[in-house]
Amino acid sequence: MTYADRNSVRKLSGNPSTSDVADADIDRAISFSDARAEAETNHSGWLPGDQGYPLIVEASEYFASSWVRDRFSDPDKQADKHYQKAQDITDAVFRSSSLSITVLMQDYQTYPANPDAPIYRSLPGSGSTEREPFI
Q: Is 13 in a helix, a strand, or coil?
A: coil
Between the two ends of the chain, the Cα-to-Cα distance in Å is 63
pLDDT at residue number 6: 92
Running along the chain, 135 residues long, what does each successive block of 10 average in pLDDT? 90 90 92 92 87 92 92 84 93 75 62 66 58 55
The predicted structure's pLDDT at residue 133:
58
Predicted pLDDT of residue 76? 85
Distances (CA, A) of 32 to 4, 53, 66, 134: 10, 17, 11, 57
